[in-house]
Amino acid sequence: MFLNFEKWHGARNDFIVTWISATDGDVVLDSLRRVAPRLCDRWGSGIAADGILVLQTSKKSDLTPHKLTIINSDGSTAKNCGNGLRCAALSVLRHHRLSRDAGNPTEIPEAVELEVEGTTKVCRFAHGSGKSTWPHVTVEMGVARVNADCSWFESARGEVERVAKELNLPELSKDFGVCEIGNPHLVFFLDEASREKIRRIGPAFQKSRHWDGINVHIAHVEEVADKDKSSAKNTIGHKLTDLYRAWVWERGAGETQACGSGACAIVTCAYASGTTSRSDWVAVDMPGGRLYVRQGDEDAEVELAGPGEFVFEGVLEI
């Protein structure tokens, strides 16, 4: 079977995006899960991606899908992915633009609603003053559960103590948080954070009797400069208060350039510690680029904003 696909990335967290109709259904999804490691491979035999986004429509002619399935590069299924949601929404925007350019009376959407693992996610296109081809996208990521609100918090504390001793990194036990926002996250706030450190820490937490893999992040605070405030105003149209630099290790994918739900986890854990204000947006700089997070209060949905870019399109065989 041949499928048309698009390659997108959100802060260099990259995805293969394909559209299927309801009649294709489970057969295509099962095949994509099976071949995901080959398609996502970065070492010569694949398209190269952190995962596959499958947008499902009722009919092949539909321009607005109703469901999104997120397949990790190892073939497992993810429950949430902020960068993937933004790329999926922009793919929908692209299809509407192409239809309009072809002469059809197509109305360009202001927002896209997608069902992911039984939960509806709303993606809105931001209206900053930037001149990018593709607008930033704001996603409602759901209500985060942080620290003691997570049933596995005490188990995580024990795992942190074990790994801190195993890796001789006592600083891991000093300032960390856990967050569940569709998927589980461990967040470490460190004075010294680097790619080398996440490559040591991330894999050490993947095998545990308490979870089937976990997303791991290390972060530290940086000063907000005038250029950072200006960039936020131009891209998402809002003020910026705080800035974190972070590195990512994702379950099912390993080291990635960015993680949308991870940015949400970092900021909500910072809120919980009292070190970050809820008054405005918070920026999280990951190796692939900058993401923005906001949550008005602890019971509100976490909002994630960030970029997405179309790379190329083609045809794949499964």
- Encode pLDDT of 91-128 as tens digits: 999 999 999 999 999 999 999 999 999 999 999 998 76
Q: List, for residues 23-42, the tens digit of each pLDDT value.
A: 887 899 999 999 999 999 99
Q: What is the pLDDT of residue 294?
A: 95
Closest of 51, 56, 65 to residue 24, by C-alpha: 56
CA–CA separation, 44 and 42 (whole Å):
6
Q: What are the residue boundaries of the structural domains of the chain, listed by start? A: 2-142+308-317, 145-299
In terms of C-beta density within 10 A (0-12 exposed, 13-18 middle, 19 or more buried), how is residue 51 classed? Answer: buried
Check if CATH label 3.10.310.10 holds for domain 2-142+308-317: yes
Q: What is the pTM of this model?
A: 0.90
- Same CATH topology for 2-142+308-317 and 145-299: the answer is yes
Note the pLDDT tens digit of each residue in 120-167: 999 999 876 556 789 999 999 999 999 999 999 999 999 999 999 999
Is 145-299 CATH 3.10.20.30? no
Q: What are the contacts of 100-109 at 24+ separation with CB within 8 A?
A: 106/63, 109/64
The pLDDT tens digits of the residues spanning 270-307 come to: 999 988 888 889 999 999 999 999 999 989 999 999 99
- 195-204 helix and 153-166 helix, angle to the nearest 10 degrees: 120
